Structure 1
Amino acid sequence: MAGTDTSGRPPGAVGRVLAPLALAQFICSFAGSNMNVMINDISTDLDTTVQGVQIAITIFLLVMAALMIPGGKLTDRYGRKRCFLLGLATYGIGALLSAAAPGLGVLILGNSILEGIGTALLIPPVYILTTLLYTDVTSRARAFGTIMALGGIGAAAGPLIGGLITSVLSWRAAFVFQALVIALILILSRRIEDPLPPDPTRSFDTGGAILSAAGLILLVMGILAADNNLWLMTGLLLLGALVLVWFFRSVRAKEAAGKEPLLSTSMFRNRTSNLGMVTQNVQWLLLMGVSFTVAAYLQVVRGYDAIGTGVIFTAATLGLLASSLAAERLAKRHAQRTLIMTGFAVAIAGIGILIGMVSGFPSAWAFAPGLLLIGLGLGVMLTPSVNVVQSSFPEEQQGEISGLSRSVSNLGSSLGTAVAGTILVAGLTTSAYGAAMITLAVIGLAGFVAAVLLPRTTTVG
């Protein structure tokens, strides 16, 4: 591909576009976790409950998951840079609206809806542009390593940064911080050039977009209803499953008629990609599930403030930073499958230590060893999972697979907060904390099995 040297490393002009792309992933991940340490402050200021804040967090993650596939598809029609900039602008407006929110409803509109829509528009271009500009396994691992490092740091350091801002200023200032970062990204984005021209003639499957989004929303709403009404939970889950079946039937019908659906069924015929997306889903489920569970337990059960809670999460941030920045070196020495398996094993061990240490030691620092291992494990496997999936498809399908991949990952984030949060909020006690963490560990084992089933000689590039 033009624009790269023989080593696959983009020249300086192309390499500099990595800064706004990585910062975009950072701020979107930050937004998904920084509210975890503001639970008490927000609920008191807006006269709502812990469950109300949990719902706001989950809706934000859910909107991202539901709209990521349509967002990825729109990049083909309107261009990757244009969608990226529109997403940034929408996100920034949502952040400012959240900062001024007088109540939970406006907070959900700004943070959960507008920031969620903005993220769904801007994140697929991040992964499409990276895949197109970095063409060999080493340079792509380096680029995705940087992006996933900042994304993971955003999620892991969100509690610390959010805690600092909340303690020194207020929780509202954390949203102003997001808006400022968005402004910086917009300035840096002037360097970005779209490597492929947009195709305005590409059709857009509006009906498919509505069905896919509705199905995903109903599924997560069903999980959220588990602690209130089991019949409602069952009904929502069944309805969500039926809507998704309807969606896939409509996709097949459109393909049979020679029309372009929202998502081609060929996306699901690649066994390596399918397994890679399972690992992505579980990775983000673990990260967001652990983050919400530990943050809520520390604040509500043990009475820690935002800054105290955030400081404890430093261990996870350091672990994730160390292993993510080593992605390029690890990719040269080990197979993608090996890295993903190792990451899950280390993260699951970290959850086990979290359960054991916290029950046996009253100090909040008993969380540090487990969080450190979880951070290390996630950092080891986030990059190879993305690399495996994105590299399984040619350039012309990057819009579809990027949207699907990010949707699967963000659905994992939604499920992590919903599953762990539902268990924890149903009974904010030490036993509920243990039940939530055990559930996450079991789900982590499922991710490990998916990694074992990946081809032994997974090649990327």
Structure 2
Amino acid sequence: MTTPVDLARDEEVTPRKTNLTVALIVIAMAQLMIVLDGTIVNIATPHILTDLDFSQSSVQWVVTAYALAFGSLLLLGGRLGDLFGRRRMFVLGVAIFAIASLLGGIAANSAMLLAARGLQGAGAALASPAALALINTTFPAGKERNRAMAVYAAMSGAGAAVGLILGGILTEWDWRATFFINVPIGLIVAAIAPRVLVESEGNDGTLDIWGAVAGTVGLFGIVYGLSHAGQQGASWGDFETLFPLIGGLVMLGMFVLIETRVKHPLLPMRILADRTRAVSLFSMLLIGAGMFAMFFFLGLFIQQVLGYSPIKSGFAFLPFSVGIVAAAGIASNLVSRVDPRWVAGFGGLLTTVSMWGLTNLSMDSSYATNLLPWVIVMGFGMGFLFIPLTLTATAGVDKNDSGAAASALNTAQQIGGAVGIAALTTAFTHYATQKGNELAEAGRAAMAKATAAGQTPTKEQIADATHQAQLQAQTFGSTHAFWFAAGMLLVGTVLVVALLGIKHDELSTEEAAVHVG
């Protein structure tokens, strides 16, 4: 017999007259918003740097704060959805994301903007794992669910391209608009979601708070230490560099210890015990570092050195997204016939060669000759990497660990980006400072020589020479950062080819489309 309590419970779990089309739009918009926010500010970064008085070495935190918060809290966000209901966490995450976007848009200083970016990452970490899971609970198996999965994959794959182009268009007007645009979208999604999405039932279990704290603090310490080492005048021996780095490593060690002892760990160590998954996750971390580095340093270079407008900069990256989607389609078919080590190895080789190509950029580089070929090659390389590594990272995992394995893959990519940008900014600052000092010394010698000859330069000539020297130093620093990024990608490629022993007939391609991009 059905009681009023049962009816009330059913009503809470299954919304009346669920409109699957609206439900799909809600999930797709949330996913697009989360994915594109990882790239949308890359185009706005030069303008943020100027308006909020960031330094060239500290502006990387605008990107890093989001990726670090997103990546380090992703496992916790998935676990919260399991325990307390995925729809509830989805709505909460989207609402936090929207509020954080508002705070970012009105930020009066760098500290407020960075806090808002971290809060955006926390909101994304709650909403993102729930979004995919809600497709399974809201859409019936078969045609409807397959359609939802396809749209979700499209949003994931298109997010980077949409973010770069939309970032360019909005930045042309005002960089703050790149944050404000999320506010109405996020609030509308949060308001409609409870009416059209089906809630999952909460699971019994405990929340691994100490594991989340240890992991987050450890990662922050490492990123902060690397970032401080990259500041002008800082060194690796500074207390403010060494203490966070050592403390971060200690906390990560504590994280591993905690995960081996708690009953419901955020990241079961048995996932990493499998060589195939461990290699896949570590390689994805290195790939994330390379991809984030390309967007960050190249975004600054093409605007500040080559003088591209924000809109032109956004469209300059469009071939990357076209390449990654095209290659992902090819790779999805190849992995059923070719061992993943060779598909991913080929992709890794392409990305390494592409990053090497970017080391040859100069102040006189043209888009068609010096940029476009490498942007396309990078896109294809990433497409050939993402599909096989997504499959190998989740292959053979126990059903109870499937969610944690998928979250670990996304975490590796985000954390790789955060740590990679911090490390490469250190390299950038070192070489840019070195070149800047050389050019300053040469400039002083030239001025002294001109003055002795009675040819004192005008203020305008001095200002122009100083500006040109700054651009030369930035170019020198950027190309060296690309060298280090190429090294990271090469290491990842070698690891994949040497250690990824799983065969193609042991894989399923069902998950391939979901995690593209």
Q: What SS class does the counterpart of residue 374 from structure 2 fall into?
A: helix
| Structure-2 residue corresponding to 1:276 | 280
Q: Which residue of 2 aligns with 1:363?
A: 366
TM-score by length of 1: 0.84
Matching residue of 1:105? 111
Which residue number in structure 2 is paired with residue 421 of structure 1?
Answer: 425
Q: Please tell me whether residue 239 in structure 1 is matched to residue 247 in structure 2.
A: yes
Moved more, 94-103 or 141-150: 141-150
Mark the CA change 1:413 to 1:155 in structure 2 (over 3 Å): closer, same or farther: farther
Other structure's SS at 2:176 match: helix
Corresponding residue number in structure 2 for 1:155:
160
CA displacement 1:64-107 (0-9 Å, x = unmatched): 12211211221221122222221111111111221122222221
Distance in 1 (alpha carbons) for counterparts of 2:487 and 2:393: 24
Whole-angstrom CA distance in 2 between matches of 1:384 and 1:80: 28
Gap change, CA 1:283 and 1:272, over 3 Å in 2? same
Aligned counterparts of 1:314 and 1:107: Cα–Cα separation in 2: 27
Higher RCO (CA-CA < 8 Å; seq separation 6+): 1
Match of 2:390 among 365, 386, 390: 386
Cα offset for 1:202?
1.2
Instruction: Report Cα offsets for 1:164-219 as digits up to 9, x if no partner.
Output: 1111x21111112233443565447855435x5221x3111212211111111111
Aligned to 2:82: 76
CA deviations 1:286-333 (Å, max 9, x no partner) are: 211111111112233333332232222122122123233556544555
> For the residues of structure 2 that align with 1:398 and 1:54, how far apart are their CA atoms?
33
Equivalent pair of 1:163/1:308 in contact (CA under 8 Å): yes
What code does the residue aligned with 2:276 have?
T
Aligned to 2:169: 164
* Greater displacement, 302-311 / 184-193: 184-193
- Please tell me whether the aligned partners of residues 345 and 377 of structure 1 are also in contact (alpha carbons under 8 angstroms): yes
* Counterpart for residue 456 of structure 1: 503
Equivalent position amino acid for 1:439 in 2? F
Q: Which amino acid aligns with 2:507?
A: T
Q: Distance in 1 between matches of 2:61 and 2:180?
A: 21
When residues 253 and 328 of structure 1 are mapped into structure 2, their CA distance, relative to the original with a 3 A threshold, is closer
Q: Report the CA distance shift for 1:379/1:130 in structure 2 as closer, same or farther (over 3 A).
A: farther
Task: Work out whether residues 327 and 380 of structure 1, in 8 Å CA contact, stay in contact via their aligned partners in 2.
Answer: yes
In structure 2, what is the Cα distance between the partners aligned to 1:418 and 1:141? 39
Q: In the alignment, is residue 345 of structure 1 matched against residue 368 of structure 2?
A: no
Equivalent residues, number: 439
Is the 8 Å Cα contact of residues 138 and 197 (structure 2) preserved in structure 1? no
Partner of 2:513: none
Asked if 1:321 corresponds to 2:325, the answer is yes
1:144–1:354 CA distance, 2 compared to 1 (3 A): farther
Structure 1 residues 295 and 96: CA distance shift in structure 2, 3 A = same
Aligned residue runs from structure 1 range 87-126, under 5 A: 87-110=93-116, 112-126=117-131
Structure 2 gap ranges (5+): 1-17, 433-472, 511-517
Aligned equivalents of 2:427 and 2:31: distance in 1?
Answer: 29
In the TM superposition, 1:17-416 aligns within 5 A as 20-110=26-116, 112-128=117-133, 147=152, 150-167=155-172, 169-183=173-187, 185-186=189-190, 187=192, 191-193=196-198, 197-199=201-203, 201-227=204-230, 228-231=234-237, 232-254=240-262, 259-326=263-330, 328-356=332-360, 358-359=361-362, 362-365=365-368, 366-416=370-420
1:440 is matched with 485
User: 1:9-24 counterparts in 2 under 5 A?
Assistant: 20-24=26-30
Distance 1:270 1:141 in 2: 30
Report which stretch shifted further, 67-76 or 215-224: 67-76
CA RMSD of aligned residues (A): 3.2
Bigger Rg, structure 1 or 2: 2
Distance 1:70 1:236 in 2: 23
Identify if the C-alpha distance between structure 1 residues 411 and 325 changes in structure 2 by more than 3 Å, giving closer, same or farther.
same
Quick one: structure 1 residues 78 and 271, their matched pair in 2 at CA, closer, same or farther if it must change by over 3 Å?
A: same
Distance in 1 of aligned mates of 2:408 and 2:268 = 10
Change (3 A) 1:308 1:422: farther
Q: Aligned partner of 2:503: which letter?
A: R
- Aligned residues of 1:28 and 1:119 also touching (Cα < 8 A): yes
**Matched AA of 1:163:** G
TM-score (norm 2): 0.76
Q: CA 1:151–1:287 in 2, change beyond 3 Å: closer, same or farther?
A: farther
Gaps of 5+ in 1: 1-11
